[in-house]
Chains A and B, each alone.
Chain A
Amino acid sequence: MRALVIEDDVDLREQVCAQLRSDGFAVDATGEGEEGLFFACEYPIDIAIIDLGLPGPTGLDIIREVREAGLDYPILILTARSRWQDKVEGLETGADDYVVKPFQPEELTARIQALVRRSRGWAQPKLESGDIVLDTARQEVFVADEPVELTAYEYRVLEHLMLHAGEVVSKTALTEHIYEENAERDSNVIEVFVRRLRAKLDPEGARKPIETLRGRGYRLSRGLSSREADTAGSTGATDS
């Protein structure tokens, strides 16, 4: 998952970024409204956390531009103004939720994860595919109820594939969603991550949960397990 943080206070920005990284996100961050607007419109983002009180283009301006550009990833606003008029304005402009400063770090995490899940059509914090279960709240993965240890990157790859279960995900898309913008990238590494994931999730090679589609990418089977979000369709629950 790739998150964008736009917050002009350096200390708070670093805190939020550190927290998001520890929650398994690839994080891009900026304190400039102008730069934030560019990131928000150009990067393949899964969620944006935007402070409303920015210098330059305000948070509201950025949200408006993003929605006008037809981008529908979830947006969480951070606001110091606790008045409902300000909150409602942000939500009406296109944000999906808000967190009022000062906030409890766990609350921020919970809201962000709920938004990401909902945007992919998952109604509950546990993603399931066959006998693979990924708990986004605790960042734990189980195969047939047995815990599986994954590295941060392996986790990100699996989370992305599970959130897009049944869809073909290209190597480029995977790279973009698990790496931050200024990270060293090597798409060959994706192959390594996928190979390791297969070994951990399916040591006997019996189920083959991750399919390789030559020249197109990977696909995680939807599995047989119930996926509640199917009732909501696969378009995601993000309003804009």
Chain B
Amino acid sequence: MNSLRARLLAATAVLLLAFIVLTGVALETAVSERADQAEHDRLQGLSYALLGSAEITDDGGFKLAPRVLPESDLTRPDSGLYALVLDEDGETVWRSPSLLDPIELDTVPAVGEWQFMRVYPEQGTLITLSFGFRWVTDAGKDYRYTLVVAEDASTFVKQMQRFRGVLWALLSASALVLLVVELLILRWGLAPLRRLARNLATLQAHEKRRIEGRYPDEIQPLVSNLNTMLSNDQARLTRYRNALGDLAHSLKTPMAVLRGLAEDERLEENQRRPLRNQLARMNDILDYQLQKAAAAGKRSLTASIAIAPIAEKLGRALTKVYAESGTRFRVHIAPEVKAPIDEGDLTELLGTLMDNAAKYGNGEVDVRAETRDGDLHLQIDDNGQGFGDGSTERLLERGVRADTSREGQGLGLAVAAEIVRSYTGEITLTHCEQGGARVAIVLPAG
């Protein structure tokens, strides 16, 4: 149950079910009671009418002429409406012509009391109303009787069953309609959240770092905060990099002066050499630490950028730098290849590796990139001598160079490895088919 919609829907369904059942039961009870009451009243009226027409003989006989019976049904045999009178001993003293078999009651009401109950003879159900009464004759004799009026309940039961069927059918239908409406309400109500989720997802697929659009009041603060966070993040990184750049500038210009002094021929060679070496060391440390500090690394919600334009830009720039050797930089990257990586980091990574490839290669540098299962695969090949044997792991450590005959900072691969690590990626140094060096990088998605 990991979706808001499923949760709300489940909760609503349970609530709706409980409501429908309770409503159904309540309605059914109310209607059934009302029907019983009506039946009770009808039978009571009938009882009064019968009592009004009755005569008791002095010997306790009960007389009720069929023509004075208040309901014609009482005279028609087995009509469904019956009446009988029991004496004190439970013996039938009178019964309506309609009644063929006597009705047996388990209990009889006390004198002056009414007893409304259902009895279940062999067939069907009877609704009975009994009334206990005392009759004092003119001769002063006192008799105790019970009047029982009964009606066949089958019609009543059928009516109630029909009512119940209609009731539950209507309730179920309305429950279904309500559920569908609820579904629509949820769709509509949760639409802004879906839009936000979609925008967050596309944030990584597009080259922007901002969630666009206006959201409902409940979500807007979240969106605004996210946007502020994203822009602050970028601004902080830019400020940080500028500060590092200024630091580099303020340190490296004096170092350049000292480096120039190290060539001053008025100094002894044994004075110049340590000066050169120490300056080179300082420079290496400074470069490595500055590069490391300036790497943005993996961040959440980094916008995806296209790889090809950056590789091509670097290719153009490096073509100028390597014009003397005529090195050719070939970029084989489809325009749709994108990855969520900071532009500065990617420029640094590709620049360092393409420069390395040009420096140690033999005039040809090939850059490839593709995405497989969301992971970005980068590959930089040159046509030089390759990395040599067994030293590739050491090359990725800082400050180690395989080919010390060429000038350069010797930090390129270590810097690249540092950037790749900050994206929890992998960097592998191998050989390409033609024997030149190949640097293969995998940057995982997300």
- Contact between A88 and B317, CB atoms less than 8 A apart: yes
**In the complex, what distance in Å separates the CA atom of A81 from the CA atom of B252?**
9
Inter-chain contact B248/A12, CB cutoff 8 Å: no
Residue of A nearest to B344 (CB): A85
Q: Are B257 and A9 in contact (CB under 8 A)?
A: yes
Q: Decide if B321 touches A91 in the complex (CB within 8 Å).
A: yes
Interface-side segment among A102-110, A128-136, A158-166: A102-110
On chain A, the residues within 8 Å of B369 by CB distance are none
- B294 & A83 in contact (Cβ 8 Å cutoff): yes
Chain A residue with minimal CB distance to B314?
A88
Interface positions of B from 387 to 434, Cβ below 8 Å from A: 407, 409
| Per-residue contact bits, chain A 26-46, to B (CB 8 Å; 1 contact, 0 not) | 000000000000000000000
A82-B313 in contact given A103-B259, A107-B407 (Cβ < 8 Å): no
A residues within 8 A CB of B291?
82-83
Interface residues of A in 1-52 (CB under 8 A from B): 9, 11-12, 15-16, 19
In this assembly, does B279 line the interface, its C-beta being within 8 Å of a C-beta of chain A? yes
Q: Are A102 and B294 touching (Cβ within 8 A)?
A: no
The B235-281 residues at the A interface (CB cut-off 8 A) are 241, 245, 248-261, 263, 279
Q: Is A101 an interface residue (CB 8 A)?
A: yes
Q: Contact partner of B351 among A87, A96, A104, A114, CB < 8 A? A: A87
What's the Cα separation between A239 and B320 when bound, in Å?
A: 8
Jot down 18 A-B pairs with beta carbons below 8 A, ordered by A: A9-B253, A9-B257, A12-B256, A78-B256, A80-B248, A80-B249, A80-B251, A82-B248, A82-B409, A83-B241, A83-B291, A84-B350, A88-B314, A95-B320, A97-B323, A101-B252, A102-B252, A102-B259
A88 touches B313 (CB 8 A): yes
Q: Which residues of B contact A (CB under 8 A)?
A: 241, 245, 248-261, 263, 279, 283, 287, 290-291, 294, 313-314, 316-317, 320-321, 323-324, 343-344, 347-348, 350-352, 355, 407, 409
Q: In residues 200-222 of chain A, which contact B (Cβ within 8 Å)?
A: none
Taking CB as reference atom, which chain A residue is nearest B351?
A: A84
A120 interface contact, C-beta 8 A: no
Contact B256 A104 (CB under 8 A): no
Per the bound structure, the CA–CA distance linking A81 and B347 in Å amounts to 14
User: Quick check: A98 and B321 within 8 Å, CB to CB?
Assistant: yes
The residues of A that contact B252 with a CB separation of less than 8 Å are 80, 100-102
Question: How distant is the Cα of A98 from the Cα of B259 in the complex, in angstroms?
Answer: 17
Query: A157 at the A/B interface (Cβ < 8 Å)?
Result: no
- Given the complex of chains A and B, what is the CA–CA distance between A239 and B321 in angstroms? 11
Residues of A within 8 A of B248 (CB): 80-82
A191 at the interface (CB under 8 A from B): no
Assess whether A81 is in contact with B279, with CB atoms less than 8 Å apart.
no
A118 proximal to B (CB < 8 A): yes
Q: How far is the CA of A183 from the CA of B245 in the complex (A)?
A: 37
Interface of B is mostly: helix
Contact between A84 and B348, CB atoms less than 8 A apart: yes
Bound: A92/B316 CA distance, A: 8
The reply to whether B352 and A84 form a contact with Cβ atoms under 8 Å apart is yes
Interface status of A57 (Cβ within 8 A of chain B): no
CB neighbours of A86 from chain B (8 A): 245
A108 CB to nearest chain B CB (Å): 9
Q: Which residue of A lies closest to B294 (CB)?
A: A83
Q: Are B323 and A85 in contact (CB under 8 A)?
A: no
Verify if A237 is at the interface (C-beta below 8 Å from B).
yes
Q: Specify which chain A residues have a CB less than 8 angstroms from the CB of B251 in the assembled complex.
A: 80
Closest to A105 in B: B263
Residues from chain B with a CB closer than 8 A to the CB of A81 are 245, 248-249
Additional pairs, 16, CB under 8 Å, beyond known A9-B257, A16-B260, A88-B317: A12-B260, A15-B257, A15-B260, A78-B256, A81-B245, A81-B248, A82-B290, A82-B409, A83-B347, A84-B355, A87-B351, A102-B256, A104-B259, A105-B259, A114-B324, A118-B324
Q: Are A80 and B323 touching (Cβ within 8 A)?
A: no
Q: Which partner residue on chain B sits nearest A99 by CB separation?
A: B256
CB distance from B89 to the nearest CB of A (A): 117
Known A80-B252, A82-B287, A84-B351; judge A96-B320 contact (CB<8 A): yes
- Residue in A16, A92, A118 whose beta carbon sits within 8 Å of that of B317 in the complex: A92
CB B35 to nearest CB in A, in angstroms, measures 88
Known contacts: A103-B256, A105-B260. The answer to whether A97 contacts B347 by CB under 8 A is no
Inside 8 A of A53's CB, which chain B residues have their CB?
A: 249, 253
Per the bound structure, the CA–CA distance linking A84 and B257 in Å amounts to 23
- In the docked arrangement, what's the CA distance between A96 and B324, Å? 11
| Pair B283/A84 contact, Cβ less than 8 Å | no
Q: Which of A97, A102, A103, A118 has the most CB of B within 10 A?
A: A102
Instruction: Note all chain B residues with C-beta closer than 8 A to A16.
Output: 260
Identify A101's interface contact among B241, B256, B343, CB under 8 A: B256
Q: Given A84-B348, A87-B351, A102-B283, answer yes or no on A118-B323 (Cβ-Cβ < 8 Å).
A: yes
Given contacts A82-B248, A92-B316, A102-B283, contact A11 B348 (CB under 8 A): no
Inter-chain contacts of A95 with B (CB < 8 A): 320
Contact partner of B347 among A85, A106, A114, A237, CB < 8 A? A85
Top 5 A-B residue pairs of the complex, sorted by shortest distance between their CB atoms: A84-B351, A80-B252, A102-B259, A91-B317, A80-B249
Set of chain A residues within 8 Å of B320, measured between Cβ atoms: 91, 95-97, 239
| A4, B409: Cα distance in complex, Å | 27
